[in-house]
Amino acid sequence: MDSNLTVSASSGSLWTTLGRWGSNFISALRAARAIRLLLSMRLLGSVKNLRILMASIGKSLPNIGWIFLLLMFFNVIYTVIGTLLFAGDFPELFGRLHLSFYTMIELMTLEGWNDTARVVMTEYPYAWIFFLSYIAITAYILLNAVAGVIVDCIMSPGTEESKEREIDMIARQDEMAKDIERLEAKIDELTKRL
C-alpha cells in the first residue's frame, strides 16, 4: 500500500493537470500517506510499560473529567465576580463575560497573572485577595489534583501486580505446607515400620 501511495502521490503532476478533481485526489492520497503515521500507534501495544501507562491514563479520565468540571465551576464563579467587580475600570480584561473568562484562564495557567494583578490592584488595592484565592484554588489545588489522579492510576497497576504475586506466593506456600505434611506423614509411617 505504501508503494502505491508513494507512486500515486509522486505522480501528482499528472493528476493536477486533470484540474480540480486531480488536486483533490492528490490531497486525499497525501492524507492517506499521513494515516500511515497512525499505524505506528500499534507500537504502543507492544511495549508493556507503555501499554500500562496508556491504560492508567485511560482509567484516570473519569476522575480528571470530574476535576475539570469542578475547575470550570470555579472559573465561572470567579469570571462572574471579576466581571462584576472590575468591568468598569478594566474593560479590556473584565468588560464582558467572555473576556473575563479568558482572563481567568490566563490567570489559572499563571501566564502573566502578576501583571494582571498589579494593573487591577492600582485601582483596587484589595484585589490581591481575589487573585490569590483564585490561583490557589485553580492552579495549585485543582491542577495538582489532576497530576495526583494520574500518578495514583499509574501506581495502581503496580499494586495490583504485587497483590497477584502475593496471592500466588500464598498459594505456593499452602502447597508447600501440604507437601511437608505429606512428607511428615510418610516419615512417621516409615519410623513406625522400623
- pTM, rounded to two decimals: 0.58
What grid cell was written down for 120?
487591577
Average pLDDT of the chain to the nearest whole number: 80
Average pLDDT of the residues in 138-163: 79
pLDDT score, position 190:
80
Query: Residues 25-61: pLDDT tens digits?
Result: 667 667 777 677 666 666 666 677 777 777 778 888 8
pLDDT score, position 159:
59
Hunting for cell 486533470 — which residue is that? 18
Higher local confidence (pLDDT), 180 or 52: 180
**Nearest-CA neighbor of 73 among 45, 49, 43, 108?**
108
| Whether the predicted pLDDT of 6 surpasses 50 | no
Q: Which residues contact 100 (CB under 8 A, 6 or more apart)?
A: 79, 80, 82, 83, 87, 93, 94
pLDDT score, position 55:
78
Query: Residues 154-172: pLDDT tens digits?
Result: 777 665 666 677 777 888 8
pLDDT band at 80 (very low <50, low <70, confident <90, very high): very high
pLDDT band at 9 (very low <50, low <70, confident <90, very high): very low
| Whether the predicted pLDDT of 124 surpasses 50 | yes
What grid cell was written down for 31?
492524507
